[in-house]
Structure 1
Amino acid sequence: MSKKVDRGEFNLKQILNNLNSINFYLLLFFLVIYYRFSKSFVYESLLHLTPGRLEKLDFLPVHVSPTGLDSLTVYVTLFICAIIFAFFYNFSKGNLNQSTYNFRVQIFALVCFSPILSYFVLQILWLLQTDSSWDFEIYFMDESVGWILTNQWPFDLGLNDTRWDFYKTGLFNSVRVVIASIILSTILGIIIGVLRLSRNKLLSNLAKAYVDLFRNLPLILQLLLILVWFVTTLEPFREVQDNNLLEWIYWSNRGFVFPKVVIQNMTYFLVGLGILLSFRVYLRYVERISLEVETSDLSSTSRDTLSQFKEKINSLILRPFNFLDRKLEPVIPDVLFLFSVLSFTFGIFRILEWNYSFSVGGIFDREPYSLFVFSLITLFYSLKMSASLEQAGLNSFTENSSPDAINRKFRLTIAIVLVSLIFFYLSIAVTQPNLITEKDGEVLGWGQWKFEDGTYEQVSSVFINLMLGLTFYTAAQIAEVVRGSIQSLPRGQIEAAISIGLTPYQRLNLIILPQALRSMIPSLTNQYLNCWKNSSLALLVGFSDFYFILTTIVNNAGHAVPIFIIILLTYQSGSLLISAVMNNINRSVTKKEKKEF
């Protein structure tokens, strides 16, 4: 029988025994290190609280006396260390439920980092008061730039345009080169990854050589090599007359020139797009399986009140039409997706300042960004609604494989596509590039040659350089992801596919890749994020992305701190957007099959 100890009695041996899994001396060593580390941060934080130090904190009724600053620093630091020790002691007893444990871990982390956080906040207030370079006002972004941007498609910027306009152009340049690189690198990476597992030794060794070369070669060096290849391989601009395809496409070491395509009638364009999207809604409605899915019992005692409340709020937001028929409810997000895509298309063309004959009234006519932002929010909301319905088992589809049904669907698809193409044809105008080599009857030198404004679109060589560099480098990483995901599949899956007589292409398309996709998507997300961040190397090849433009603004106008905060927020927003999209895809791929009731 163990001796019962009074709870009010301080027993050091009992405390040490409760620290069963944590070495007491290691904890003591950690507290000593933490004390020495945090003491300086506590001192600087208390120094900022002395009278007259920070004007923005003069309203505080209590200030720190400069004479007792050293002793107060010791007391505050020891108090924080005592709280940390109390947390460790409480954790060691192990009698906490999961929710309480998670909450106390968050409080523990907040206490540990409180000296650094307080110093960080107070130091920023001090720098805002004393250092002009820490002025967070971004009024300077509304001023004119005073220099010309080379890669500004599809915008037309001049010396009098604001820095915000240049940032908008640079952001669009970054987005388009990253999207193109992600698409191309995914296609190339899947091909290379599959070829690495080919039984053909030549193809397998070539794929392995590609991966070893581009994966281990630094991206900066790859960009430089591609740049040298462009300069030495493509003909100079003075020979552009001889380098063309039927005088519709020209190429030189400056890039490629294509015909000008303008949406001259946005009404017809949106009608054609709306027909295709409406056909999508119709097909999903016809092929959707109507299942009677049992709703979860929110009154179950196995879940707490907070979980029930969250589930009710989630159902209210993501399934506001759950009173409708099981087959009719999923149509609502499909229709919402249709209108959001149409408004998004219209809004993005408004921002890009394309010329077309279409107008709307109200706030959208005065502020083109309003429609774009509204449609973007609606688009994501419709996708979240569809994902919620998929989790509930209401977005399951089947296809009638009878010959009559397949022929009927094929004829209907051809008819819908042809009607949409007619509207697209009526909405656009194509202009042949016009190379000006003469002026007033005089032949101009090749240095004065130029294409007539409004007759061409140019893809610059630096854009192709950066896109190819990102594509080749990212594709090598994706190829290894694909190879590893395929090799992780059970051998029995492939043997079963062979036993039922599937061709190698059918095995790859129907069995291997769909199953490998489950383990492939998380790694692909990392590669896409790396591609987005690696686009900052556009500075090396002279491509005008937003990082290149903002660093140039810092060199010309100063204000480094707010500029780099804009850079940080831009990269962070892009990374979060890519992660959100890939997480939704991963959730739809790895979701568990719902039981039919």
Structure 2
Amino acid sequence: MTARAAPKGKRDWSLRSRAVRALLYQLLALTLIVLAVWFLAHNTFENMRVRGIRSGFDFLLQPAGFDIGELPIAYDALDPYWKAFLIGVLNTLRVAVIGIVLATLIGTLLGIGRFSHNAIVRGLCYGYVELFRNIPILLQLLMWYLLLTEWLPDPAEPLSAFGVFFLSKGGLNLPVPVWGTGHALTAGGLIVGAAAAWGYARWVRLRFERTGRPLPVAAPAVALMLGGALLGWLAGGSPNEWNLPKAGDVAVEGGSALTPEFISVLLGLTFYTAAFIAEVVRGGIQSVPGGQSEAAGALGLSRGQLMRLVVLPQALRVIIPPTTNQYLNLTKNSSLAVAIGYPDVVSISNTALNQTGRAVECIAIIMLVYLFTSLTTSGLMNWYNKRAAIKER
């Protein structure tokens, strides 16, 4: 005779329930915060009205009336302020995203290099970390900017590499393809190849967990991505037209140019943040018990396999949370780019503030931009942290 399951208890909605009291406390705290924000906003706008200070975001529809040096999209001085702010946000995202990728690569290599058997490699990695993380980021930005604008030759006599790359006080000029349908198909093929590479890597991991037989991942994944891009390139008619830079009498003409301001901000943020990420990686690796390395050595794994298959997967759960903080710091430190004239969202906001006098609105836009980017970065990293967490049985 089987025992009947006990009936589920009814939810207790009285104040004696801890869950109900916790919910009420949260609602009360949220209500107080909303009231405080409303009071501050109402008081601010009322004082501005009494003093005759105009307020509101209607200025975003008015012509901006100023030029911008870095233009990821088309822009004219007669365009409205909202488009100028959009360019500032895009410039901020451009330097932040590229900086996060480069800082992660450099920091990971430095962190792993701290455990090298070669004393010179260990010393260089240690020296890099101690040098760059102990110099304020603002001084590093100014240092790179002065190096690029004072020590490099004039744009009329640039440094040249292979006749297609030119470096001078005017920035870095490099060749770019003349965009067409074929390039769009190439990019699409690369995306398809990347998806196929991800599927292959997942299949290899599942096969390894099932059989214990490893298969190469890096080379086939690269081959799939390059193969997809090649097929897209062939399907698009094999476009091969390039816009090549050429040295002129006054400056380099043609191609694509990276300004000294962008290069300075990117180098400063990347090298500074990479030093902190290196320490995070080093601490994560050291958190893995030494017995794991001894067991991997007993199985005959090489040092590369030990690091890739045993140590790093376990160290990720320690590495990811503090690395998220470094990503947020890099994005917020990009606001210091205003010191060297890079037109990020802070620089555009300062110009708009000086022209319109809408201080509260411009500062609110800056706050919303950095709040959105920080929450997005945290959300993505939290999602990745859950996927990388070791599932315990």
Question: Shorter-chain TM-score category?
Answer: 0.7 to 0.9
- Compare CA radii of gyration and give the structure with the larger one: 1
Q: How does 1:212-251 map to 2 (within 5 A)?
A: 212-240=130-158, 243-251=159-167
Q: How do residues 515-594 of structure 1 correspond to structure 2 at under 5 angstroms?
A: 515-590=314-389, 592=391
1:494 corresponds to 2:282: no
Alpha-carbon distance change, 547 to 208 in structure 1, aligned in 2, over 3 angstroms = same
Is residue 254 of structure 2 the alignment partner of residue 254 of structure 1?
no
Report the 3-state secondary structure (helix = DSSP H, G, I; strand = E; otherwise coil) of the residue aligned with 2:230: helix
Q: Structure 1 residues 546 and 503, CA, compared in 2 at 3 Å: closer, same or farther?
A: same
Are residue 141 (structure 1) and residue 60 (structure 2) matched? yes
Contact 2:197 2:225 in 1 (8 A): no
Counterpart CA distance in 2 for 1:529 and 1:133 is 35
Which residue identity lines up with residue 163 of structure 2 in the other structure?
Answer: E
For the 8 Å contact 1:134–1:561, the answer to whether it is kept is no
State the Cα distance separating 1:508 from its structure 2 match: 1.1
Q: Distance in 2 between matches of 1:195 and 1:458?
A: 34
Which of 284, 287, 290 matches 1:485?
Answer: 284
Task: Tell me the equivalent position of 1:164.
Answer: 82
Q: Answer whether contact 1:486 1:516 (CA < 8 A) is retained.
A: yes
Structure-1 separation of matches of 2:64 and 2:222: 55
| Counterpart secondary structure, 1:216 | coil
Q: Does 1:263 align with 2:179?
A: yes
Is contact 1:522–1:586 with CA below 8 Å preserved after alignment?
Answer: yes
Label 1:489 to 1:96 Cα distance change in 2 as closer, same or farther (>3 A). Answer: farther
2:207 aligns to what?
Answer: 398
- Separation in 2, partners of 1:287, 1:213: 38
Structure 2 partner of 1:195: 113
Superposed CA RMSD in Å reads 3.3
Q: Residue by residue, what CA displacement relative to the aligned partner does 1:79-107 show, whole Å, maximum 9, x if unpaired? A: xxxxxxxxxxxxxxxx9444123113224
Residue 244 of structure 2 aligns with which residue?
432
SS at match of 2:238: helix
Counterpart of 2:207 in 1: which secondary structure?
A: coil
Q: 1:426 to 1:127 in 2, by over 3 A?
A: farther
Which amino acid is the alignment partner of residue 173 of structure 1? N
User: What amino acid is aligned across from residue 568 of structure 1 in structure 2?
Assistant: M
Is the 1:236–1:253 Cα contact (8 Å) retained in structure 2? yes
Residue 419 of structure 1: aligned partner: 231
In 2, Cα distance between equivalents of 1:515 and 1:540: 41
TM-score by length of 2: 0.83
8 Å CA contact retained: 2:48, 2:54? yes
User: What letter is aligned with 2:173?
Assistant: V
Change in 2 beyond 3 A, CA 1:129/1:224: closer
**Stretch of structure 1 that moved more, 568-577 or 107-116:** 107-116
Equivalenced residues, count: 373
Q: CA deviation at 1:226?
A: 1.7
Q: Which of 257, 261, 273 pairs up with 1:462?
A: 261
CA distance in structure 2 between the partners assigned to 1:284 and 1:194 by the alignment: 24
State the alpha-carbon separation in 2 of the partners of residues 409 and 215 from structure 1: 35
How far does the alpha carbon of each residue in 1:165-206 deviate from its partner, in whole angstroms, 9 at most, with x for none?
222222111111111111111111111112223343332232
Q: Distance in 2 between matches of 1:284 and 1:211?
A: 33
Conserved? CA contact 1:189–1:482, under 8 Å:
yes
Matched, 1:100 2:20: yes
Change beyond 3 A, Cα 1:424–1:474: farther
SS of the residue 1:229 aligns to: helix
Equivalent position SS for 1:103: helix
Tell me whether 1:173 sits opposite 2:91 in the alignment.
yes
Write the distance in 2 (CA, Å) between the matches of 1:410 and 1:164.
41
Q: Is the 8 Å Cα contact of residues 141 and 162 (structure 1) preserved in structure 2?
A: yes
Kindly tell me: are residues 99 and 490 of structure 1, through their superposed partners in 2, closer, same or farther at Cα, counting changes over 3 Å? same
TM-fit CA distance, 1:141 = 2.1
Q: Distance in 2 between matches of 1:402 and 1:251?
A: 45
Q: Is the 8 A contact 1:134 1:562 kept in 2?
A: no
Whole-angstrom distance in 1 between the partners of 2:282 and 2:197: 35
* C-alpha distance in structure 2 between counterparts of 1:160 and 1:469, whole Å: 33
AA matched with 1:549: I
Q: Does the 8 Å contact 1:127/1:134 carry over to 2?
A: no
| Counterpart-to-counterpart distance in 1, 2:270 and 2:195 | 34
- Say if 1:279 and 1:158 are closer, same or farther in 2 by CA, change over 3 A: closer
**What is the aligned partner in structure 2 of residue 123 from structure 1?**
43
- SS of residue paired to 1:237: coil
* Alignment partner, residue 508 of structure 1: 307
d(CA) in 2 for partners of 1:429, 1:213: 44
Distance 1:408 1:259 in 2: 29
Q: 1:249 to 1:409 in 2, by over 3 A?
A: closer
Q: What is the letter of the counterpart of residue 170 of structure 2?
A: R
1:111 and 1:119 map into 2 onto residues whose CA distance is 12
Q: State, as a whole percentage, how many aligned pairs show the same letter.
A: 31
Work out whether residues 197 and 220 of structure 2, in 8 Å CA contact, stay in contact via their aligned partners in 1. Answer: no
Q: What TM-score, normalized to structure 1?
A: 0.56
Unpaired stretches in structure 2, ≥5 consecutive residues: 1-14
In structure 2, C-alpha distance between the alignment counterparts of 1:553 and 1:591, rounded to whole Å: 49
| Contact preservation (8 Å) 1:145, 1:162 | yes
Code of the residue aligned with 1:226 in structure 2: it is W
Question: In structure 1, how many angstroms separate the alpha carbons of the residues matched to 2:199 and 2:338?
Answer: 49
- The alpha-carbon deviation at position 278 of structure 1 amounts to 4.7
- CA deviation after TM superposition for structure 1 residue 275, in Å: 4.3
Partner AA of 2:59 in structure 1 = F
Secondary structure in 2 matching 1:133: coil
* Deviation (angstroms), 1:423: 3.8
What CA distance in whole angstroms lies between the structure 1 residues aligned with 2:371 and 2:226? 43
Q: Distance in 1 between matches of 2:109 and 2:293?
A: 19
Q: How far, CA to CA, are the matches of 1:539 and 1:411 in structure 2?
A: 42
Say which SS state the counterpart of residue 426 (structure 1) adopts: coil
User: 2-side partners of 1:244 and 1:209: how far apart?
Assistant: 31
> Deviation of residue 125 (structure 1)?
5.2
Q: Where does residue 204 of structure 1 map in the other structure?
A: 122
State the shift of 1:461 in Å: 1.2
Match of 1:256, SS state, is strand
